[in-house]
Amino acid sequence: MKKLLGIVTVLLLVAAWPALADNVRDIVNPAEPSVVIPPDPNAPVWQGPEAVLYDNGPLVTHPGGGAGGADASALQTALGMSTYGAGHQYSLGYSVADDFTIADPEWDIQTITFFAYQTGSTTTSTITGVYVQIWNGDPSAGGSVIWGDLTTNRLASTAWSNIYRVTDTTLTTTGRPVMADITTIGTTLAAGSYWLQWATDGTLTSGPWVPPITILGQTTTGNAIQYTTAWAALTDGGTLTPQGLPFIIEGLVVPVELQSFDIE
């Protein structure tokens, strides 16, 4: 009987696991059960981009240091940090935004890869939608949308990134496999500064969460913002330091002979 009660207790903890975090931040919680979720051997694994125009920052802190030799993205609790990821749940009207700069005269942006996870998933992706728009300035400070919208699903493919989101004291846990979500963009932008805003949808009750840029020894990694009921700086819940968000822009630098000129 005692053994049966123990099994039931574990099952109840697992069922309640996604509810241990609020919808704004996925934070470290001592009540979270220690659950090992085996990888799905049939799940596709993201191979990484080939034509990178812009990479907004690193996510992996321990290459090959995660469960089964996967990569680990470690939340640095030793530095006082407490947030695994930020809420950008499309179903709740939440989103996040971060900036990028084009130094070349013109980019043909073909795809953008975003990263997200749902706590408790296997390595088979549960992500079903990514909604993207591009601003010509800070969305919280007077910018305007110049491409896209938050009603069209731009998700082209999604697969496990071979990264687990973990803490620095639990490098081999497997409850937060991070997915790489490739979106179809198809627009040309001239040199300048821009902001990406995006929201993600999935089939599980937890998240989707976007993991922040993670750099060993650093608590401040960028200047991203988050929209829930209003825009606010995206910060770690423990250190309250600003965070950046990883994304990868792929495409081509437009050759000079194909660029548009104003000629009399």
Can you tell me whether residue 161 is helix, strand or coil?
strand
Q: Are strands 71-75 and 155-167 parallel, antiparallel or unpaired?
A: parallel
- Residue at 118 is within a domain: yes
Least confident of 64-73, 121-130, 254-263: 254-263
pLDDT value, residue 11: 38
The tokens describing 12, both together, are 């109840």
- Residue at 18 is within a domain: no
- Residue at 55 is within a domain: yes
User: Which residues, 6 or more positions from 116, have their beta carbon under 8 angstroms from its beta carbon?
Assistant: 85, 88, 127, 130, 178, 179, 181, 200, 202, 207, 208, 209, 210, 211
- Residue at 134 is within a domain: yes
Write down the pTM of the prediction.
0.89
- Residue at 262 is within a domain: no
Distances (CA, A) of 81 to 104, 114, 136, 200: 36, 22, 32, 24
CA distance 264 to 253: 26
CA distance 179 to 85: 13
Least confident of 2-11, 61-70, 77-86: 2-11
On average, the pLDDT of the chain sits at 89
Structural domains in the chain (count): 1
Whole domain around residue 182: which residue ranges?
23-28+42-255
Tokens 């890869």 correspond to what residue? 113
- Residue at 107 is within a domain: yes
Is a pLDDT exceeding 60 seen at residue 55?
yes
pLDDT in tens, 149-197: 999 999 999 999 999 999 999 999 999 999 999 999 999 999 999 999 9
pLDDT value, residue 259: 55
- Residue at 15 is within a domain: no
pLDDT value, residue 48: 77
CA distance 133 to 30: 37
